[in-house]
Amino acid sequence: MLSFLSPCVLPLIPSYVSYITGISFEDFKTADKAFIRKLTLINSSAFVIGFSTIFILLGISSSFIGSLFSHYYDQIRITGGIIIIIFGLYVMGLLKLNFLASDKRVHLKTKPRGVLGSLVVGLTFGAGWTPCIGPILGSILLIAGTSGSAVYGFKLLLVYSLGLAIPFITTSLLINTFLSHFKAIQKYMRLIMIVSGLLLIGFGIILLTDSVHILLSVAPDLGVEGLIK
């Protein structure tokens, strides 16, 4: 959710919604609301499935790679902790990293038509790299990698994808309300980035001190069955 609220994502939401639905901002206000809502829900869901697929595959693969290097767990854990802390300082604006400040997203000049087109846009979004999503997503992938469990990597990135998907679909369906309140939300951007950075630094310290068990005791792993219940 913090990734969704970041300056790299939140201001682009109206453009993404308009792009994947093919509906202009003016049409959102004047066209048939039932039709617009249905079209927005279908295309937004396809977009969400697209980027979620990429994120989940990244989680599974990072865990698999971590399992291959299980003999070097301590080295990976310590290196990962240091990298996550650096990411946290960058997100807070206390550290400047030029390689994170460049946009590496795939840009599609024309969107393929229909639901499949929205899915393709979601895949390109998930495969891309943005300055704000990168550190947070990268940190989660590092945590998944140290676990050495593909199932755990799947769970982590599934929940991360939900954290982006739920507010995105909600915002898409309430786009007019979002546009009217966007300026008010912008006032808290700096606070959001500070909180994001502090969370990353906290995760980094947990890895450095090998205190993952503390995190699990605060938020126990209920498994898929527990999530469903």
CB 199 within 8 A of CB 80: no
Question: How big, in percent rounded to 5, are the helix, strand and coil portions of the chain?
Answer: 75, 0, 25
* Extents of the domains making up the chain: 10-228
Spell out the residues 6+ positions from residue 211 whose beta carbon is closer than 8 angstroms to its own.
205
pLDDT score recorded for residue 31:
66
pLDDT score recorded for residue 3:
83
For residue range 47-76, what is the model confidence (pLDDT) as tens digits? 999 999 989 998 888 888 877 776 777 787
| Strand, coil or helix: 210 | coil
CB 83 within 8 A of CB 203: no
Spell out the residues 6+ positions from residue 223 whose beta carbon is closer than 8 angstroms to its own.
none
Q: Structure tokens of 107?
A: 């840009």
CB atoms within 10 A of CB 157: 24
Using CA atoms, how far apart are residues 119 and 115, in angstroms rounded to an integer? 6
pLDDT score recorded for residue 52:
92
pLDDT score recorded for residue 228:
37
First to last CA, the chain: 22
Q: Tokens 């990734």 identify what position? A: 3
For residue range 159-211, what is the model confidence (pLDDT) as tens digits? 999 999 999 999 888 877 777 777 777 787 888 888 888 988 988 888 788 77
For residue range 14-42, what is the model confidence (pLDDT) as tens digits? 878 888 877 776 676 666 778 888 888 89
Spell out the residues 6+ positions from residue 45 whose beta carbon is closer than 8 angstroms to its own.
169
Give me Rg for the CA atoms of the chain.
19
| Mean pLDDT of the chain, nearest integer | 77
Which of 69, 71, 45, 89 has its CA nearest to residue 194?
Answer: 89
Q: Between these two residues, 45 and 13, which has the higher pLDDT value?
A: 45
Which of 44, 38, 37, 36 has its CA nearest to residue 20?
Answer: 44
Rounded to 5 degrees, φ, ψ at 220 are -60, 145
CB atoms within 10 A of CB 64: 15
CB atoms within 10 A of CB 158: 16
The pLDDT-based confidence of 218 (bands split at 50, 70, 90) is low
Q: In whole angstroms, what separates CA 173 from the centre of its chain?
A: 19
Q: Structure tokens of 18?
A: 């308009």
